[in-house]
Chains A and B, each alone.
Chain A
Amino acid sequence: MIRPEHTTSMAQTGILKSSLAKKYAMAASGLFLCLFLVGHLAGNLQLFMAPSDGGRQFNEYAKFMTTFPAVKLLSYLTYFAVLFHFADGIVLSLQNRKARPVRYAMERPSTNAGWSSRHMMLLGTIVLVFLVTHMQNFWWQMHFGEVAMVDYDGVLVKDLYTVVVAFFNPELNSFALPAIGLYLLGQFALGFHLWHGFSSGFQSMGLRHPRYTKWIVGLGKAFSVVVPVLFSSIVVFMYFTQA
Chain B
Amino acid sequence: MDFTLKIWRQEGPQEEGRMETYPVTGITGDMSFLEMMDVLNDQLIRDGQDPVAFDHDCREGICGMCSMFINGEAHGPNRKTTTCQLHMRSFKDGETIYIEPWRASAFPVVKDLAVDRSAFDRIIQVGGYVSVNSSGNPIDANAIPVPKEDADAAFNAATCIGCGACVATCKNASAMLFVSAKVSQLALLPQGQPERMSRVQRMVDQMDKEGFGNCTNTGACEVECPKGISLDNIARMNRDYLKSQVTGE
Task: Using CB atoms and an 8 Å cutoff, list the residues of chain A in contact with chain B.
Answer: 1, 4, 6-10, 13, 17-24, 92, 95-96, 98-109, 111-114, 117-118, 120, 196, 199-200, 203-208, 210
Contact = CB atoms under 8 A, between A and B. Distances in A.
- Interface extent on B, as a size class? 35 or more
B75 to A, nearest CB: 12
B42 to A, nearest CB: 25
A226 to B, nearest CB: 22
Given A9-B245, A19-B208, A23-B238, A112 B103 contact: no
Contacts of B8: 105
A204 B245 contact: no
Given A100-B173, A111-B73, A112-B223, A21 B103 contact: no
- By Cβ-Cβ distance, the 5 closest A-B pairs, closest first, are A206-B239, A99-B213, A108-B72, A208-B235, A206-B238
Main secondary structure of the interface of B (DSSP, over half): mixed
Given A7-B249, A96-B173, A96-B214, A205 B242 contact: yes
Given A99-B174, A113-B220, A117-B216, 7 more contacts: A99-B104, A99-B105, A99-B172, A105-B100, A112-B223, A203-B235, A203-B238
A88 B194 CA distance: 33
B73 A22 contact: no
Contact of A19 (B17, B207, B242, B249): B207
B6 A20 contact: no
Contact of B205 (A18, A113, A117): A18
B242 to A, nearest CB: 6
B241 A20 contact: yes
A6 B198 contact: yes
A104 B207 contact: no
A204 B202 CA distance: 19
Contacts of B106: 99
Contact of B201 (A8, A19, A22, A117): A8
Contact of A98 (B103, B105, B207): B105
Interface string B180-219: 0000000000000011011001101101100111111111
A212 to B, nearest CB: 11
Nearest to B221: A112
A111 B77 CA distance: 9
Contacts of B241: 18, 20, 206
B116 to A, nearest CB: 14
Given A19-B208, A112-B73, A106 B100 contact: yes
A107 B72 contact: yes
Contacts of A10: 245
A95 B215 CA distance: 11
B215 A23 contact: yes
A85 B126 CA distance: 32
A204 B238 contact: yes
B104 A100 contact: yes
A105 B231 contact: no
